[in-house]
Chains A and B, each alone.
Chain A
Amino acid sequence: MRKSFDLKRLLFIIGGILICLFFAFPYYWTVISSIAPESELYQNPATYFPSNPSLEWYKIVLGGSFPRNILNSCIIATSTTIICLVLGSLCAYALSRLKLSISYILLGAILAVRLFPGISIVAPLYMVFRNLGLTNTYLGLIIPYTSFALPLTVWLMTAYFNTIPSQLEDAAKTDGCSPLQAMTKVILPLSLPGFIATCLLIFVMTWSEFFFALIMTYTDKAQTVTVAISQFRGIHEIRWGEMAAGTMFVSFPIILLVVITQKKIISGLTVGAGK
């Protein structure tokens, strides 16, 4: 029989609500700030439910150069994702299937690259890119992003390929397929879920990058959303309403992705951590 009052259960519910509030509240606050008119945004005490919601900040943000920054981010993130998926999964396939003596060293090197921060390579890249005229271009960001996202791709895809039994290819080969055909016709279609998870993680990682974008781009020609939002400055302060509206534009697509595909993302994150 269920007890009418269960202290343990009550504590559990309160704890759960507090945890969810902690994680969701900053986002709620950004939404509120993005629709609060200036008079309510800079008001004491703060308004938790704006009485006159307006889309003023969104109009201001869209009227400036921000749409261009969104386009830049889209192009850079999409190109990086495609390049990484194609090259990285080929490499992962070789590591997973065709047993090589150098696989061990390679996987170690790839994992090491994943852990290093941008600052360890940024100075020479900046010098070389400046000489080649690659600063403030899409390529100037796609190249470093690819080198950081490729190891993640290889790592995730190797793990996915390892879950597909190699008997499938052996059967294909017995039926007269070449190793290349066995890969493209049997294994690639089967690893589609892995591809989707990897694709999402690379896209989010590239979309969110700040350090290289800050250094390599300096005008709206190639500047990405993260840098643009961090530079919504007035004379003294960041213009908070615009920051909030910009944040909504940048985060909303990702949040939508997370809501729709959270199971895939979670599986990618856990494999990515090397579980």
Chain B
Amino acid sequence: MSIGSKWTELRKNGLNEKQLSYLLLLPTISIIGMVFFLPIVMSIWYSLHKIDLISPASGQPWVGIQNYVDLVKEARFQNSLRVAFLYIFLTVGGNLLLGLGVALFMNQTFKWRGIARTMILLPWAVAPVISGLMWKWMYNTQFGVFNDILLKLHLVSRPVDWLSSISGTLPAISFSAVWRHTPFVSIIILAGLQTISPELYEAAKVEGASSWRCFFHITLPLIKSVLLIALLFRTVGAFNYSFSLVYVLTGGGPVNTTEVLTLYGYKTLFEFLQFGRGSAIAVVISAIIGMIAFAYIKSIGLKRYV
């Protein structure tokens, strides 16, 4: 068939379904391909070279896996990896426990439920980086409200340096992340709770089961998949958002005790201007997230969405 007659056929019948769907998919696929998958491949390529933007004259020689070998041996990299996982453990743990509590609370019927829901959603409306700044002000040693409250309640005898102690700063940062990200977790868990039929609880009550037994034998098993989704989403989110919080709260200090992997990667790229080495860190981060994402996709199963 000639192009001309194909065109007439198109004008007459419109696109058929298959042609239409590929046309609809094309813009999204090309954007994601060019602005996501291509840069990932380029990051891997950069990570196999020595690229120092400080001395452009030295060129960009191929170094193979040298950047990765250097990283693995480096104490600062090992530290940032450890800090990142500790941060994730504290933040996500706090998110899930508090999120479950909040969801159970919101699942009750009471008078001011609408107002309570709005108040609980407030942190979600604040950009993560700005929530970091708000908490930095509250943690302020001299004028911060945190110390003020603790002093008034006689829980501490003198102001605490929240953001400059070796062991206490990372938990303090995680605490602010718990505040910012728990609303999301509780909303997901609440949605899970609302799918449980009340008849189940009634039946259990008739048979004399206590509230605790109901919780462990009905509620928890039925929201298991929702909890898993929240866990994986938050793990990835904690990894990704750790940058903005730590960047504004401490910048990685004191003595790198809060320098998470994303922050170290950022510094290597845009402060030390070592693009080869920085890209190697970016690839390591991508690999870690990739593994978590794979676990996530496996666990929820894509079939029901397609």
Contact A178 B14 (CB under 8 A): yes
Stretch with Cβ within 8 A of A (4 or more), from B164-172, B199-207, B296-304 = B296-304
Residues of A within 8 A of B24 (CB): 90-91, 93-94, 98
Minimum CB–CB distance from A126 to chain B (whole Å) comes to 8
B219 within 8 A of A: no
Complex Cα gap A135–B241 (Å): 23
Give the contacts of A62-95 with B (CB-CB under 8 A). 87-88, 90-91, 93-95
The 3 closest A-B pairs by CB, nearest first: A208-B127, A147-B35, A124-B42
Question: What's the Cα separation between A12 and B133 when bound, in Å?
Answer: 32
CB-nearest residue of chain B relative to A150? B28
Chain A stretch 1-55: residues in CB contact (< 8 A) with chain B: 12, 15-16, 19-20, 22-24, 26-27, 29-30, 33, 41-46
B93 contacts chain A at the CB level, 8 A cutoff: no
Q: Do residues B134 and A95 form an inter-chain contact, with CB atoms below 8 A?
A: no
| B279 contacts partner chain A, Cβ-Cβ < 8 Å | yes
Q: Which residues of B contact A88 (CB under 8 A)?
A: 28
Q: Is A196 an interface residue (CB 8 A)?
A: no
Complex: how many Å from CA A142 to CA B275? 23
Q: Which residue from B116, B142, B262, B269 sits with its C-beta under 8 Å from A16?
A: B116
Contact call B240/A117, Cβ cutoff below 8 A: yes
Contact A210 B128 (CB under 8 A): yes
Which of B1-9, B69-77, B284-292 contacts its partner?
Answer: B284-292
CB of B43 within 8 Å of the partner chain: yes
How many inter-chain residue pairs (CB < 8 Å) link A and B?
286
CB-CB nearest in chain A for B143? A42
Chain A residues with Cβ under 8 A from B32's Cβ? 109-110, 113, 147, 150-151
Number of interface residues, chain B, beta carbon within 8 A: 102
Q: Mark A90-131, 1 if CB is under 8 A from B, else 0.
A: 110111011010011011111111011111111111110000
In whole angstroms, what is the CA distance A274 to B229 when docked? 8
23 contacts between A and B (CB under 8 A): A12-B108, A16-B116, A20-B120, A26-B123, A26-B138, A29-B138, A46-B148, A87-B28, A94-B21, A94-B25, A104-B306, A120-B286, A122-B39, A123-B282, A124-B43, A147-B36, A180-B20, A208-B128, A211-B243, A230-B247, A238-B137, A273-B233, A274-B305
- Is B90 at the interface (CB under 8 A from chain A)? no
Max chain A Cβ within 10 angstroms of own Cβ: one of B130, B266, B278, B286: B130
Point out the residues of chain A lying under 8 angstroms from B214, CB to CB.
none
Q: How far is the CA of A247 from the CA of B126 in the complex (A)?
A: 8
Q: Could you say which of A15, A97, A119, A154 contacts B266, with CB atoms under 8 Å apart?
A: A119
Those of B44-92 within 8 Å (CB) of chain A: 46
Whether A250 contacts B130 by the Cβ 8 Å rule is yes
Residue among B130, B138, B283 making CB contact with A226, cutoff 8 Å: B130
Residue picked from A46, A87, A180, A181, most chain B C-beta under 10 Å: A46
Binding site for B on A (CB under 8 A): 12, 15-16, 19-20, 22-24, 26-27, 29-30, 33, 41-46, 87-88, 90-91, 93-95, 97-98, 100, 103-104, 106-113, 115-127, 143-144, 146-147, 150-151, 154, 158-159, 162, 178-181, 204, 207-211, 214-215, 226, 229-230, 238, 240, 243-244, 247, 250-251, 254-255, 257-259, 262, 265-266, 269-270, 273-275
Contacting pair B187 A269 (CB below 8 A): yes
Q: Is the CB of A238 within 8 A of B134?
A: no
- Asked if B236 CB lies within 8 Å of chain A CBs, one says yes
Listed in ascending order, the chain B residues whose CB lies under 8 Å from chain A are: 13-18, 20-22, 24-25, 27-29, 31-32, 35-36, 38-40, 42-43, 46, 101-102, 105, 108, 110, 116-131, 133-138, 140, 142-145, 148, 151-152, 179, 182-184, 187-188, 191-192, 226, 229-230, 233, 236, 239-240, 243-244, 247-248, 262, 265-266, 269-270, 275, 278-279, 281-283, 285-286, 289-290, 292-293, 296-297, 300, 302-303, 305-306
Decide yes or no: A87 and B138 within 8 Å by CB, A119-B262, A243-B133, A270-B191 being known contacts.
no
Q: Are A23 and B125 in contact (CB under 8 A)?
A: no
Give chain A residues whose Cβ lies under 8 Å from the Cβ of B14.
178-181
Task: Return the contact of A44 from the options B142, B282, B292, B300 (Cβ within 8 A).
Answer: B142
The reply to whether B36 and A23 contact each other, CB–CB distance below 8 Å, is: no
Q: A147-B31, A181-B14 are in contact. List 5 more A-B contacts (CB 8 A).
A: A20-B116, A208-B128, A226-B127, A247-B130, A262-B118
Do B188 and A270 touch across chains, with their CB atoms under 8 A apart? Answer: yes
**Chain A residue with minimal CB distance to B276?**
A123
A262 to B190, CA, bound (A): 14
- Name which of A109, A230, A238 has the most chain B CB atoms within 10 A of its CB: A230
Instruction: Give B108 Cβ to nearest chain A Cβ, in Å.
Output: 7
* Cα-based distance from A191 to B103 in the complex (angstroms): 28
Name the A residues within 8 Å of B43 (CB-CB).
Answer: 120-121, 123-124
Q: How far is the CB of B77 from chain A (nearest CB, A)?
A: 14
B162 CB to closest chain A CB, in angstroms?
Answer: 14
Contact partner, B293, options A112, A144, A178, Cβ 8 Å: A112
Q: Check B40 against A259 for contact (C-beta < 8 Å).
A: no
**Most chain B beta-carbon contacts within 10 A, residue among A93, A118, A123, A262:** A123
Most buried by B among A12, A88, A127: A127
A33 touches B119 (CB 8 A): no
Q: How far is the CB of B164 from chain A (nearest CB, A)?
A: 14
